[in-house]
């Protein structure tokens, strides 16, 4: 028996066994690996390279949708190292998370996230699909208020379209875990972001020594100040680390090592990070998984620069009211006058407007004159309305003394930068020619204001990736605040369109954009 176990794997009988095992679903293959040492070696052959499996379902039944996507992603040999599920709010977050945890295992790092829509390959038809769950009209020119229970505490049963996309990844050579950011429920003044960053770094260092995380996929709660959270992470975590994600949803998670030892009524989940760190103890026959980012924008700056004067934040509803001066003038202008003047330069009389706020250090001369302002970060806030001399924008983090430009959505810019993202991904593919590095999966985080209703054609956001890598699994989420930061070593991050030359120099939480994450694998020498 010992001599048979030590025999070469690919004898005649083993070739037959190899062929049979290669057709087994993930759960059956895991059981087969326990039969004998030979079977374990053959099963391990299927898991020598990283894999990404994804599936989309628009089944209106939660049970039906979970069944469709899990059957599809687990139909081939894969060992889940992490999983991401984006669902419609109407499914009910807790119920969906429980069902997915049962199928994938409670120790698999899993983020179940309520998004604004999904994209990917449909499980039943193998067709590419993009679906935005709700085409509700956005609130404009009026005060914004968030009513109703938080999605984490509610289960919805409305007639809004439903669906989900599931992504399961296997990444040998990396360690993955989900790390949460929480704060006390009754004290919104306490920030735990620094502790969040320490936990991320501690996990990375525990598995990879002095190496920073290879990548972080972040999911933020819609009531959290993700601009501030991501800006803090951007400053504290080296540029070698890729960061992508959705900053405006709602989520639950499973983690291998991190638990929250507090009753649910005492804390709030602000964000969760799926952290990918290099395993310092990986086998020498395991290659390297790499992360590359490209982006398509959609905003154009216009008008003069303004300075924030007086700020009012409305509790935990998360909108900000402020007054502003046009730089170089001392007269307060009314919201109506500013908007009317700005819209004279825009063809769309009811465009989606944003402000791009620059946060940074200011340098003054001895007589108090502003010499220069060094921008450290930029945050985008959608304009919701205004009255008199006050403007109302979505989100928090706007401070007195900040300066900002107005931005508007522009279809031509969105199309042009999508072409640039396509070209960047094409360049990435061309760079791999002649080498053994290959792309094995992709993730997309696109603004919910994009999609077919905006472009007029289906699958526009998924096209740049799928057209370059048609046989590679890809899935995406329609977001409210797309997070995207390239690593310092990546050359695939999109260059600004010429119409965006005035854009602030640095931003990690975007608006009206699409962020593409390509996962590639370089085998060992």
Establish if 39 belongs to a structural domain.
yes
Q: pLDDT, tens digit, for every residue of 88-142?
A: 999 999 999 999 999 999 999 999 999 999 999 999 999 999 999 865 434 333 3
In this structure, the answer to whether residues 1 and 106 fall within a common structural domain is no
Partnered with residue 53 across adjacent β-strands are 168
Establish if 209 belongs to a structural domain.
no
Establish if 323 belongs to a structural domain.
yes
Choose among 24, 142, 146, 155: nearest CA to 79. Answer: 24
Q: Of 360, 386, 409, which marks where a domain is finished?
A: 409
pLDDT of residue 360: 66
Q: pLDDT, tens digit, for every residue of 339-366?
A: 888 778 777 666 789 999 987 655 445 5
Q: pLDDT, tens digit, for every residue of 87-100?
A: 999 999 999 999 99
In this structure, the answer to whether residues 433 and 491 fall within a common structural domain is yes
According to DSSP, the β-strands at 319-326 and 299-313 are antiparallel
- For 15, the domain range is 1-46
Q: How many domains does the chain have?
A: 4
pLDDT of residue 415: 95
> Does the pLDDT of residue 206 top 80, yes or no?
yes
Q: pLDDT, tens digit, for every residue of 21-65?
A: 556 565 555 555 566 666 556 555 667 789 999 999 999 999 999
What is the pTM (predicted TM-score) of this model?
Answer: 0.85
Q: How far is CA 148 from the centre of its chain?
A: 25
In this structure, the answer to whether residues 364 and 418 fall within a common structural domain is no
Establish if 380 belongs to a structural domain.
yes
In this structure, the answer to whether residues 383 and 418 fall within a common structural domain is no
Establish if 179 belongs to a structural domain.
no
- Residue 113: CB atoms within 10 A of its CB come to 25
In this structure, the answer to whether residues 42 and 55 fall within a common structural domain is no
Mean pLDDT, rounded, for 421-438: 93
Share of the chain above pLDDT 90, in %: 55
Q: Of 123, 142, 170, which marks where a domain is finished?
A: 170
In this structure, the answer to whether residues 59 and 81 fall within a common structural domain is yes
pLDDT of residue 8: 40
Spatial distance between the Cα atoms of 83 and 66, rounded to a whole number of angstroms: 13
Mean pLDDT, rounded, for 372-398: 82
In this structure, the answer to whether residues 394 and 441 fall within a common structural domain is no
Establish if 278 belongs to a structural domain.
no
Do 418 and 342 touch, CB atoms closer than 8 A? no
In this structure, the answer to whether residues 145 and 68 fall within a common structural domain is yes
Q: How far is CA 91 from CA 56, 214, 269, in A?
A: 14, 33, 20
**What phi, psi does 512 have (nearest 5°)?**
55, 35
> Does the pLDDT of residue 203 top 60, yes or no?
yes
User: Is pLDDT larger for residue 455 or for residue 489?
Assistant: 455
Do 363 and 371 touch, CB atoms closer than 8 A? yes
> What are the DSSP calls for 438-455, one per residue?
EEEEEEEEEETT-SHHHH
pLDDT of residue 483: 96
In this structure, the answer to whether residues 62 and 111 fall within a common structural domain is yes
In this structure, the answer to whether residues 73 and 140 fall within a common structural domain is yes
In this structure, the answer to whether residues 81 and 116 fall within a common structural domain is yes
Q: Of 170, 201, 220, which marks where a domain is finished?
A: 170
Establish if 266 belongs to a structural domain.
no
Establish if 150 belongs to a structural domain.
yes
What CATH number has the domain bearing residue 69?
Answer: 3.30.1330
């Amino acid at each position: 028996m010992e001599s048979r176990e030590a025999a070469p794997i690919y004898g005649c009988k083993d070739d037959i066994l190899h062929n049979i095992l290669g057709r087994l679903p993930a759960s059956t293959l895991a059981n087969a690996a326990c039969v004998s040492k030979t079977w374990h070696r053959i099963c391990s052959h299927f898991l020598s390279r990283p894999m990404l499996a994804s599936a989309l379902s628009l089944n209106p039944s939660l049970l039906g949708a979970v069944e469709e996507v899990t059957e599809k992603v687990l139909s081939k040999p894969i060992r889940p190292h992490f999983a991401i599920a984006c669902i419609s709010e109407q499914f009910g977050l807790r119920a969906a998370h429980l069902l997915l945890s049962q199928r994938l295992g409670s120790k698999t790092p899993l983020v179940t996230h309520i998004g604004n829509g999904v994209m990917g390959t449909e499980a039943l038809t193998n067709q590419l699909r993009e679906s935005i769950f709700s085409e509700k009209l956005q609130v404009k020119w009026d005060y914004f208020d968030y009513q109703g229970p938080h999605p984490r505490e509610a289960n919805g049963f409305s007639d809004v379209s439903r669906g989900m996309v599931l992504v399961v990844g296997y990444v040998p050579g990396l360690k993955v875990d989900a790390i949460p950011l929480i704060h006390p429920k009754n004290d919104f003044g306490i920030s735990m972001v620094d502790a969040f960053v320490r936990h991320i770094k501690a996990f990375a260092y525990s598995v990879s020594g002095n190496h920073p995380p290879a990548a972080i996929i972040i999911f933020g709660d819609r009531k959290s100040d993700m601009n501030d959270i991501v800006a803090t992470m951007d400053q504290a975590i080296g540029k070698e680390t890729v960061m992508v994600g959705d900053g405006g949803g709602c989520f639950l998670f499973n983690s291998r090592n991190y638990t929250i030892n507090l009753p649910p009524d005492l804390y709030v989940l602000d964000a969760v990070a799926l952290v990918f760190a290099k395993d310092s103890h990986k086998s020498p026959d395991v290659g390297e998984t790499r992360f590359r980012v490209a982006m398509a924008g959609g905003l154009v700056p216009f008008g003069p620069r303004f300075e924030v004067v007086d700020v009012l934040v409305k509790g935990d509803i998360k909108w900000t009211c402020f007054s502003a001066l046009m730089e170089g003038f001392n007269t307060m202008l009314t919201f109506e006058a500013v908007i009317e003047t700005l819209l004279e330069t825009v063809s769309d009389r009811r465009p989606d407007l944003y402000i791009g706020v620059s946060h940074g250090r200011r340098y003054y001369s001895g007589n108090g004159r502003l010499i220069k302002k060094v921008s450290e970060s930029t945050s985008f806030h959608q304009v919701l309305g205004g009255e008199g001399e006050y403007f109302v924008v979505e989100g928090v983090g706007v401070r007195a003394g900040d300066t900002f430009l107005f931005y508007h959505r522009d279809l031509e810019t969105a199309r042009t930068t999508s072409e640039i993202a396509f070209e960047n991904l094409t360049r990435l593919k061309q760079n791999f020619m002649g080498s053994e590095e290959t792309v094995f999966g992709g993730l997309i985080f696109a603004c919910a204001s994009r999609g077919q209703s905006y472009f007029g054609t289906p699958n526009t956001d998924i096209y740049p990736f799928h057209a370059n890598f048609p046989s590679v699994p890809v899935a995406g989420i329609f977001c409210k605040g797309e997070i995207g930061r390239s690593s310092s070593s990546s050359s695939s991050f999109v260059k600004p369109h010429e119409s965006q030359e005035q854009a602030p120099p640095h931003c990690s939480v975007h608006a009206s954009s699409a962020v593409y994450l390509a996962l590639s694998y370089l085998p060992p020498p």
